[in-house]
Amino acid sequence: MIKRVRKWFWAWNDDKEEKFLEDMAADGYKLKNVSIGMYEFISSEPEKVRYQLDFKGINRMSEEEYLQIFEDAGWECVDTLGSWYYFRKAYDEEAPDISIFNDNKSRLEKYRRIIIFLFITGFPIYYQVLIMFPNLDREEFNYPGFFFFFRIFVTILVVIHAAAMVMLIVKIVRERRSIKE
Amino acid sequence: MNGLIQRNSPLTEATYYILISLTEPLHGYGIMKKVDEMSHGRIRLAAGTLYGALNTLLSNKLIKSVGEDEENKRRKLYLRTELGTELVEYEIKRLSEMVGNGIKETRSVYK
């Protein structure tokens, strides 16, 4: 039996998302796939599972090699969502809180990869809102009504995008401050 | 001594072990096994940390890619560069001083 759950997590709440998936597994729902704002589970025996989310980002290492490293470390890749990778491992009593990171420096490095990714992908929409829109003459368009809504849509996107970058930077700064290594 | 070494020091324990293990060409899995052996099982390199470290070390030219494993082509091999060795030597000096001072000071206090 397949169970669909609608839920939304922001990138800086990935630890809450992991916890949510672990709780679902404990209730007998094994993650099958992930899409934007939607999780699909299969009914299974309730089990203790460890979930970890990683963000690969933009760099030279191929996806094949990336997944091989995780597989070699015993992680099963359940599904991907853009550059997000959902990893799963059976619960081990000797390492109940096993993580895909050894230290906080590399854990925070993940959020830095997200910010760089957002920065690169965000450029086209920022260009539209800040440079293209103010310089456009509305009379030139065949469908000014459509363009009006399109402009509102893209502007909302830019606001969310900018807020996400700010939140991620805040998260990194805050955690850095609270960590004493 | 160049700025790159200053910027990368101090290395985290994981990155230090990854860097010293790459005296011979190794892939990710090989690095995990070697570090596990060297530290007598104390350090289990985590996949995300290893991935992040390999990327950072590559972009700082402290290691280089030297082909792939014959049995499994998805496993790429890495080797430490001269710059990487310079960084390791700098770290060894720094850490030896740290350990030396620790021994000297605590022994004189608690004797």
The count of domains in chain A is 2
CB atoms within 10 A of CB A12: 18
Host domain of residue A12:
2-90
Is the domain of A108 the same as that of A83? Answer: no
How does DSSP classify residue B11?
Answer: P
ipTM of the complex: 0.90
Residue range B33-56, pLDDT digits in tens? 999 999 999 999 999 999 999 999
The closest of A55, A118, A113, A116 to A85, measured between CA atoms, is: A55
Asked whether residue A99 is assigned to any structural domain, the reply reads: no
Question: Whole-structure pTM over 0.95, yes or no?
Answer: no
Is the domain of A120 the same as that of A172? Answer: yes
The closest of B31, B14, B42, B68 to A69, measured between CA atoms, is: B31
pLDDT of residue A154: 86
Q: End of a domain among A27, A56, A90?
A: A90
Smallest CA–CA distance, residue A75 to chain B, in Å, is 8
How does DSSP classify residue B26?
Answer: B
Contact in structure between A49 and B34 (CB atoms under 8 Å): no
Residue range A82-94, pLDDT digits in tens? 999 999 999 988 8
Residue for token pair 């090989």: B30
Crossing angle of helices A144-178 and A104-127, in 10° steps, is 160
Q: What length does chain A have?
A: 181
Contact B12 A102 (CB under 8 A): yes
Contact B52 A69 (CB under 8 A): no
Is the domain of A85 the same as that of A120? Answer: no
A67 phi and psi, to 5 degrees? -65, -35
Chain B residues in contact with A61 (beta carbon < 8 A): 51, 54-55, 58, 76
